[in-house]
Every structure is written in structure tokens, then in C-alpha cells.
Amino acid sequence: MRASTDPQAATADRYREFAEVEARGMSACYETWARGVADDPATAALIDRLPGPKRQPNLVFSASRFHGAPVSDYAAFAAWLAAHWAEVEATCLSHATQTNEPGRCAVLLPALAAIPGPLALIEVGASAGLCLHPDRYSYRYTAADGGVRMLHPADGPSPVLLDCATTGPLPLPDRLPEVVWRAGVDLNPLDLNDEPDVAWLDALIWPGAHRSADTAARGGGGRQGAAGRDRAR
Ligand SMILES: C[S@@+](CC[C@H](N)C(=O)[O-])C[C@H]1O[C@@H](n2cnc3c(N)ncnc32)[C@H](O)[C@@H]1O
């Protein structure tokens, strides 16, 4: 198990590995914050008040963002966290990371489309259900040679465009699969009509990550997620 996800590992080690392996190249802010925690015994001691599984860097950082921590340098973040620890601690204890990444549909689509349809989908760990709608998003697959394949739902382009870079031969379908039934199962299904749930989903998006599709999927494509939610209970 990696130190960053090992609840028994020392907090400094967990945050240093998170900075170097998970955040680097993904979020300059989280890389800076995690490296800062790793070198700051006072903040690490604050985080150590949480049970081991709850010291997870992306949970502590998401809870901080949920309560308004601005994207900042480490000194400003450490001061903010010390001043708001009670709220952050309560949210870490009551919440879990539930990032819902509709972009995963672009990777799943070729396999789903290869199955003779129509399809019934069931997703275990569906979060808000955004991945239950591979037939309702638009896709742009761009090959290494620059070739582009666009795919759209049967009733026209979706407000949610999922971009996917490809390498090597890929069996891309000519059309999206037909999905006639879908259901999500989750320990804690998130509700796209519930403001705190949507705020938590937003807080789970790492600062600096290019996630316009998530926003569109929750906003313009909100009905899509709502359908998933209704069946996720
Ligand atoms: C990281 S999220 C991924 C959501 C979605 N599959 C995606 O790819 O965007 C993991 C989800 O799995 C759920 N989960 C974790 N353990 C579970 C279990 N034993 N049974 C059902 N859901 C679970 C969590 O509540 C969370 O919503």
C-alpha cells in the first residue's frame, strides 16, 4: 500500500507522497499544500487528531475547500486551517471522498459499444450517477496523429463534451450504445438537487484540474445525473 493511502503511515509521509505522486502535474495548489503539511509538524499534529483513515490528504483538502479555503500558498493555507479546524474536522468525520468523474465514460465507451445492445447498466459506487449516462454525452477522441472522431447522442450533441486522447488502434464505435435501463448502488448516493451534495462534489474537484465536463454534467446535463440519482437509492 502506498504511504498516501495507508492509514497507519505517518502523516508527514502520507502528505509527502501525495504531493510527489498524486498531486504533481495535477494540481499545483494541492502539491504545495501537501508538501507544506509534510514539512510542518504543527499542522500535521492538527491532522493527527483525526482517525487514521480520515487523515487522507484529498479528504482534508476537499473539506477545507468546502469550507472556503482559498487557493493559496502554504503559509496562508496553514493559517486558514488552524483558524477553521473545528469545521474541517467535522466535515472530514462526516464525509468521504466521492469524486464523480464522467470523463471515465470516454474510456468505458468502446467496451460498452462492443456489447450487442440494448444495454442495462448497473454501477456499484455510482456517487451522483454521472457515469451512468455514457449514451447522453458527446465525445471527442483525438488520436496521436491528430485524427479526430466525434460521437454524439442519437438526439444530437450534448452540452457535455468528453475529450479523450488516444494512442494505438482503438475500436471506436460509429454510434453510441443504446441504454434502456440504468441503476446506481452507493453507500451514500449524492443528490444533484441537493445544494450541500453539489457543493461537496465541487469541493472534491482539485484546484487547477481541467474539469469543465464535470461542471457541465452537473449543471447543463443535470437531468442526466438526476435520473441516475433516482435509481441509486
Ligand atoms: C471515488 S467514487 C467514484 C464514483 C464513480 N464510480 C466515478 O467513477 O466517478 C467511489 C464511490 O463508491 C462508493 N462506495 C465505496 N464503497 C462502497 C461499497 N462498499 N458499496 C457501495 N458503494 C461504495 C462511495 O460512496 C463513492 O460514492
Q: Is the CB of 27 under 6 A from ligand 1?
A: no
**What is the per-residue pLDDT for 8?**
84
d(CA 26, CA 79): 24
- pLDDT recorded at residue 162: 96
Q: Given 63, 94, 125, which residue is the final one in a domain?
A: 94
Same domain for 170 and 112, yes or no, is yes
pTM, two decimals, is: 0.84
Distance 171 CA to ligand 1 centre (A): 28
Question: How many structural domains are present in the chain?
Answer: 2
The series of mean pLDDT values per 10 residues for the chain, 233 residues long, is 78 97 95 98 98 96 97 97 98 95 95 94 96 97 94 95 92 93 96 95 87 59 40 30
Whether 98 lines ligand 1, by a CB cut-off of 6 Å, is yes
* Whether residue 152 is found in the same domain as residue 221: yes
- Ligand 1 centroid vs 156 CA: distance in angstroms? 30
- According to the model, what pLDDT value does residue 190 have? 95
Q: Whose CA is nearest to atom 24 of ligand 1?
A: 125
Per-residue pLDDT at 222 = 45
- Domain membership of residue 17 as a residue range: 3-94
Q: Which of 75, 94, 113 is the last residue of a domain?
A: 94
| Whether residues 59 and 144 fall in one domain | no
The letter for the amino acid at 158 is S
Distance CA 91, CA 68 (A): 12
* pLDDT at res. 67: 98
Q: Give the rounded distance of the alpha carbon of 183 from its chain centre.
A: 19
User: Do 156 and 221 fall within a single domain?
Assistant: yes
- Residue 223 has what pLDDT? 41
Q: How remote is the CA of residue 101 from the centroid of ligand 1, in Å? A: 11
Q: Is 185 near ligand 1, meaning CB less than 6 Å away?
A: yes
187 Cβ inside 6 Å of ligand 1: yes
CA 93 to ligand 1 centroid distance, Å: 17
First-to-final CA distance of the chain:
32
Q: Give me the residue label for grid cell 447498466.
A: 121
CA 123 to ligand 1 centroid distance, Å: 9
Give which of 32, 31, 11, 35 is closest to 22, Cα–Cα.
31
